[in-house]
Structure 1
Amino acid sequence: MPIATPHRPEGLADFLEARERLLAIAHHIAAGYADADDIVQEAWLRWQHTDRSVVVNPRAFLSRTTSRLSISAIRTARRRASVSAVTWLDTVPAPDADPARIAEQADDLRSAIRLLTRLLAPREQVAYILREAFGWPYRQIGDALGLNEVHARQLACRARVRLSTGARATAPVAATPAPQPALLGSFLEAVRTGDPAALIALTEQDPTEDDPSDVYFGRAH
């Protein structure tokens, strides 16, 4: 009986051949501003959604894409630094704040949660929040979600891409995400107690499977 081989997405060979160069480009351009692995992960996602039949030189295309993403990462980081960056935790109303300010922050937080539940699957929501709001390293996120570090990085990166482009997940997210009140309540509970257990529990209702193209990207390659 022949041994089944795992599906390898189209374009993978070209990407893996260029990957070390892409990491070098991202590190050279965006060092100190963004993680090179995150940038190259996003380049892989862009490559997966590119019409490769019109790409004459994949290596040059990937290098150019990575360079542009690196420059974009620098601009984003500088913009955040110069505009008193509003973080997720900044949107949590302080109990003793001005009532008008409390209402404004609560609206901002509800809008953010609404966007997450509309565009992301539960595991992406939680990975994104743990990374962006609480600053957890990918290894810690992976441990919490029962994943390895590479997989946790993929979830958070994919979430950022979908949020930045407004793209809905491939899976039917509308039927699977944590309801907005549940995600909002779990987030506020994690902020109040420092324990994200309620957030992590929301991932148990995520039956969606990952894009098979994601599993090939990582430090192991």
Structure 2
Amino acid sequence: MGTDDFTPHRRRLLDVAYRILGTVTDAEDVVQEAWLRWSAADRAAVGNPQAFLVTVTTRLAIDRLRQVRARREAYPGPWLPELVSTQPDPQGRAELAESVELALLVVLETLSPLERAAFVLHEAFGLAHAEVGDIIGRSEAATRQLTRRARDHVREARPRFEADRAQRRRLTERFLGACFGGDLAGLVELLAADVRLVSDGGGRAKAPLRVIEGADRVGRFLTSISNDDGAQRFLESIGMATPAEFGVAIEDVNGVPAIVVRAAGRVILVFSVEPLDGERIGTVFLVANPEKLAHVSRSEGDAASASA
């Protein structure tokens, strides 16, 4: 059976699955399973193909999330979501960019699978509570409660300051200049006193296994890995022992400006900073696990279409 009638819905399904699961790899697996079920379905009995496919995909994603939770709890060091490129989208889907922000996805990891699905469908995709209830198999009243609980948790866990894009860009540029320029004093001044650095090496790249806290400690760590010796040690940890040409750029990753570091054309590090206010950084996310970076380099239209 052909895929022509499935293809128009594929990107939306990836959008939903990625936001529920936090990884493109798992999202792609779920969407593939949804396609298999679609292929076996009685099409004549399906009045609304998109609603049918979103329901199947969401339920599969909830089941997959329950399965992978145990693996994530045993992960070496902090677990961060898989990153996706959100460079300018010719299809003009910027309205979904907020719902893939790294800081938000990190908070969503603390919700139950049902709370996360309800939040994603209602808050990111604008579905009514009754529609969401039909998808996740709960009453409208129960769905409202799930969504409210999730929304309250997200509001409590996320910074109260809402930085606009220009402020994020300025903070990221200042962070880049201080960090890679070896300006420890300037970097410490930029960081909040209780700043947290959360890094994900996944046991596959050199990265702290614990969250680093405090402006001085975070600043010293960041400047140490940005010098020649630190860079070489990191390259060796990912199997690039010979000197490689570095490239550093600010690109859109998960809906916000982020620092993307490449060696020999390969993305090896991504820094994403979360503002505490207009002048200081409250959290630094560092993703070094190669498995979490594959989709930062991939172009629009391929599997990275889970990005907004």
TM-score by length of 1: 0.31
Name which one, 1 or 2, has greater alpha-carbon Rg: 2
Higher strand fraction (1 or 2)? 2
Structure having greater relative contact order (Cα 8 Å, sep ≥ 6): 2
TM-score by length of 2: 0.23
